[in-house]
Amino acid sequence: MRTIKYLLQKEFRQIFRNKAILPLILVVPIVQLIILPLAANYEVKNINLSIVDHDHSAYSRQLISKITASGYFRLIGYNHSYDAAFRAVESDKSDLVLEIPNGFERNLIREQHEKVFIAVNAINGVKANLGGAYLNSIIRDYNMDVRTRLTIPSKTASVPVFEISATNRFNPLMNYHLFMVPGILAFLVTMIGGYLCALNIVKEKEVGTIEQINVTPIRKYHFIFGKLLPFWVIGMVVFSLGLLVSWLVYGIVPKGSIVLLYGFLAVYLLAVLGFGLLVSTFCETQQQAMFIAFFFVMIFILMGGLFTSIDSMPQWAKVIAALNPVTYMIEVMRMIVLKGSRFADIIPHLLKVLVFALVLNSWAILNYRKTN
Amino acid sequence: METVIKTHELTKRYGDFIAANAISLEVYKGEIFGFLGANGAGKTTAMRMLCGLSTPSSGSAEIAGYDIYRQTEQVKKNIGYMSQKFSLYEDLTVMENIRFFGGIYGLGSKDIRLKGQALIKQLGLESEEKKLVGSLPLGWKQKLAFSVAILHSPKIVFLDEPTGGVDPLTRRQFWDLIYEAADRGITIFVTTHYMDEAEYCGRLSIMVDGNVKALDTPSALKEQYHATSMDDVFYELARGAKRSE
């Protein structure tokens, strides 16, 4: 026990004395939480729209003003022909072309039937998809308006129409911050914990101080525990800072129990630190450790459901996501913070993360050798 | 005389390469044993096996009466080690290093304080006590590293080229520290490339290509090789070496 006391004393002294790392531990979570959620936003606005109106009628103008009033589109200009509009798309000035045919109003009233044409620039897939969908729904809406106006109300029977009325649970305003911030917090804790832990041990190898440790009678698991605990504490501190920032900046207060959140984090951090430890046992230099950790952290983040939904991944990718501890942390963060999930709801996640922690740490301890 | 290091045909192989070949030697309590050899002769490999940093491929060895295979932790309690690379923590102060290494060798806090203060006084580091070790000149660092290596009063201390890159005056002071430790009954096992230092040793061995080619007192070796200085003895033996850096 006394050995551990000395180890911890040394470790904390070194961390607090490190002029590069200490500020980073404090500044990174604050800056990333303030900047990232604002940028990492799926909401598509400012879709550039070109309109080719061959009709110039009251109806076509109504449609256009309805579209521009929605706030999603920015009208780039009216073109006299589709070719001219398409040139705007080609030169990247425009994302969407809406072509209203000649006789739009006349056909709509007389024939009760008309078509408009939409062309989408699909280079930016997300923008194209959402832009097309927004435009479609606005036109559909307009269509309803026109129908109610043109149909003579019949006394006998009305046309049966059913409408879908949807409610967004847990995030009623579909606020992306609410969705992104807990995920980014999970990612931050992973990065800081994993990197710092891996680099710290490899640094001792690089400098040569680990030799001096290895000739002492210190026990392997004492040494490893002495390395894990400081970073576990740092992980907790970073997380608390992050929670504070997300409350102050975004007004996010976890719906569920804070104790549960920290309880899960405590286990999750063990898994993350185990990962860092394992990386360090395979590396001789900080450069190697940095690259290996970077490689895995990239996969962890991109395949952990932070930016893209795991449910829409192909089967093979789902398998990778299931083998990724970050997946569970992000999920549990969103569950507890947004849904207010209880202990019983996160038991499966907790068990899986516990397995990760056990496997990664045991592997690292087995792989760490005082002799070679 | 009490034997504190006893090896029998200790060998380390890396694939086809035999870094240290069947080393058999005995070192007695309180003696200063010089372990000489050209670069790449296998000195560090042999020393790392004796310290428990490296597992031998074959052969046996007892350090302070403990088997290096089965009683590694006991061996480690009874030895001190100072590697070629400076290996105190540069981002800790002099006193913090002393406290840390004293602590993990299981010394009590009072013991650490007393021994630490004595050590700082002996080295004349009173005004540097609160400075980071990284800011000290190399010679002072080496003296400090040696003193920390013997802080827990080990039976044997292994020194791997402790005076490399150090000025002649500091080297003298360093050897004064070594003599003092030997007087207290600590066995010194030291490698060096300085032949004047070899003359200071009680006995010494010279390694060539992984084998111990000679082992005796400096004067006996000079007589055996009809040489006037240790320099000549070393040239005579090392000239036959096939390995080089």
A94-152 pLDDT, tens digit each: 888 888 888 888 888 888 778 888 888 888 777 778 888 888 888 888 888 887 777 66
Q: Find chain B residues with C-beta within 8 A of A16's C-beta.
A: none
**Which of A13, A211, A217 is nearest residue B83 as measured by Cβ atoms?**
A211
Interface of B with A (CB under 8 A): 51-55, 72-74, 76-77, 79-81, 83, 85-92, 96, 99-101, 103-106
Give the residue, A233 or B38, on which the prediction is more confident. Answer: A233
Q: How far apart are CA B103 and CA B107, in angstroms?
A: 5
**Residues with Cβ within 8 Å of residue B112, at least 6 apart in sequence:** B98, B99, B102, B103
Q: How far apart are CA A237 and CA A243, in angstroms?
A: 10
**Which of A7, A14, A217 is nearest residue B73 as measured by Cβ atoms?**
A217
% of chain A beyond a pLDDT of 90: 28
Strand positions, DSSP E, chain A = 47-53, 73-78, 96-100, 117-120
The confidence band for A157, taking pLDDT boundaries of 50, 70 and 90, is low
% of chain B beyond a pLDDT of 70: 99
CB pairs < 8 Å spanning A and B: 80
Task: Note whether A333 and A182 are within 8 A (CB).
Answer: yes
CA distance A215 to chain B (A): 6
Task: Note whether A197 and A227 are within 8 A (CB).
Answer: yes
Protein fold of A47-150: abc type-2 transporter like fold (3.40.1710)
Q: Find chain A residues with C-beta within 8 A of B54's C-beta.
A: 371-372
Question: Cβ contact (<8 Å) for B77 and A217?
Answer: yes
| CA angle at B198 for the pair B196 and B201, rounded to the nearest 5° | 125
Question: Cβ contact (<8 Å) for B53 and A214?
Answer: yes
Structure confidence at residue A357 (pLDDT) = 95
A298-315 pLDDT, tens digit each: 888 888 888 778 888 888
Arithmetic mean of pLDDT over chain B: 90
**Which of B83, B99, B105 is nearest residue A216 as measured by Cβ atoms?**
B105
**A220 has a chain B CB within 8 A of its CB:** no
DSSP B132: B
Structure confidence at residue B9 (pLDDT) = 93
Burial category of A290 from C-beta neighbours within 10 Å (exposed 0-12, middle 13-18, buried 19 and up):
middle
Structure confidence at residue A158 (pLDDT) = 58
Q: Find chain A residues with C-beta within 8 A of B81's C-beta.
A: 211-212, 215
Q: Find chain A residues with C-beta within 8 A of B77's C-beta.
A: 217
B74-86 pLDDT, tens digit each: 999 999 999 888 8
**A337 has a chain B CB within 8 A of its CB:** no
Tokens matching residue B207: 């390694």
Question: Cβ contact (<8 Å) for B54 and A372?
Answer: yes
Tokens matching residue B132: 């980071």
The confidence band for A174, taking pLDDT boundaries of 50, 70 and 90, is low
Q: How far apart are CA A313 and CA A318, in angstroms?
A: 6
Q: For chain A, which residues make up each domain, given as ranges?
A: 2-40+172-367, 47-150
A180-191 pLDDT, tens digit each: 888 888 888 998
Task: Note whether A50 and A94 are within 8 A (CB).
Answer: yes
Per-range mean pLDDT, top range of A248-252, B37-41, B155-159: B155-159
CA distance B162 to chain A (A): 14
The confidence band for A41, taking pLDDT boundaries of 50, 70 and 90, is low
Q: What is the ipTM of this complex?
A: 0.87
Question: H helices within A152-285, ranges in order?
Answer: 176-207, 209-214, 220-250, 258-282
Structure confidence at residue A339 (pLDDT) = 86
Task: Note whether B203 and B215 are within 8 A (CB).
Answer: yes
Question: What Rg value do the Cα atoms of chain A yield, rounded?
Answer: 29
Nearest one of B49, B41, B47, B37 to B188, comparing CA atoms: B47
B-proximal residues of A, 151-210, CB under 8 Å: 207-209
B150-194 pLDDT, tens digit each: 999 999 999 999 988 889 999 999 999 999 999 999 999 999 888
**A19 has a chain B CB within 8 A of its CB:** no
* β-bridge partners, B3: B28
Nearest one of B25, B40, B8 to B205, comparing CA atoms: B25
Asked whether residue A1 carries a pLDDT value surpassing 70, the answer given is: yes
Q: Find chain B residues with C-beta within 8 A of A17's C-beta.
A: 91
Structure confidence at residue A308 (pLDDT) = 78
Question: Cβ contact (<8 Å) for A215 and B53?
Answer: yes
Structure confidence at residue A160 (pLDDT) = 62
B207-242 pLDDT, tens digit each: 988 888 889 999 999 999 888 888 888 888 888 777
Question: Cβ contact (<8 Å) for B87 and A216?
Answer: no
Average the pLDDT over A47-58 and give the result. 88
Task: Note whether B162 and B176 are within 8 A (CB).
Answer: no
Q: What are phi and psi of A315, to 5 degrees?
A: -55, -45
DSSP B126: G
**A218 has a chain B CB within 8 A of its CB:** yes
Structure confidence at residue B133 (pLDDT) = 93
The single-letter code of the amino acid at B85 is K
How far lies A131's CA from each of A46, A123, A234, in Å? 9, 12, 43
CA distance B101 to chain A (A): 9
Asked whether residue A253 carries a pLDDT value surpassing 80, the answer given is: yes
The helix or strand, by DSSP H or E, that contains position A355, with its residue range, turns out to be helix A343-367
